[in-house]
Amino acid sequence: MDDCIFCKIARHEIPSTVVYEDETVIAFEDTNPQVPVHTLIIPKEHYASIASNVPESLLGHIIAVSARVAEIKGVDKTGYRLTTNVGDDGRQTVMHLHVHILGGAQMPIRMGPAD
C-alpha cells in the first residue's frame, strides 16, 4: 500500500521510535500517547484490520510479541491492556491492522458506548 502511513513506518520510509522488530512485525511508539506506555504493534504486510482474513499464525505472532513488548516497556508486572480497533464504531483511524499496548496507568473500567 503506497500511501498507507503504517506501511511506510514498516518500510522505515518515515521515522518512528521502534521498540521491537522482526521479519513479520514491528512495534513502535504511538505519536499521541493516551497513557504513559502506548506502543503499537503492526504486521509489516498490509491488512486493513483484524477483520481482513489475517492468517491465524500472524495474529498469534502479534499477540505473542505484544507480551514481549510489554516486558520491554516494563509493564509486564503491573499490567496493561491490548486493544485493536475495527472500523467506524471501533474508532479505527489508521486502516492498517495495529494492536495498542496501553499501560503505566489504570485503564478505565467502563467499556460502553461514548457519551
Residue 93's identity, in one-letter code, is: T
Whether 98 is a known active-site residue: answer: yes
**Binding partner of residue 1 among Zn ion, ligand 5GP, none, CB cut-off 5 to 8 Å per kind:** Zn ion
| 8 A C-beta contact, residue 101 and residue 39 | yes
| 8 A C-beta contact, residue 49 and residue 97 | yes
Gap between the Cα atoms of 79 and 87, Å rounded: 27
Gap between the Cα atoms of 23 and 75, Å rounded: 24
Among 96, 98, 100, 103, binds Zn ion (CB under 5 A): 96
Task: Name the residue with cell 492498517.
Answer: 96
Contact flag: residue 61 with Zn ion (CB under 5 A): no
Write down the least CB distance from residue 48 to ligand 5GP, Å.
Answer: 11
Write down the least CB distance from residue 7 to ligand 5GP, Å.
Answer: 11
Which residues, at least 6 apart from 95, have a Cβ–Cβ distance to it below 8 Å? Answer: 4, 48, 49
Contact flag: residue 4 with Zn ion (CB under 5 A): yes
Convert residues 8-47 into a mask of x (bound to Zn ion by CB under 5 A) and - (unbound).
Answer: --------------------------------------x-
Which residues make up the interface to Zn ion (CB under 5 A)? 1, 4, 6-7, 46, 96
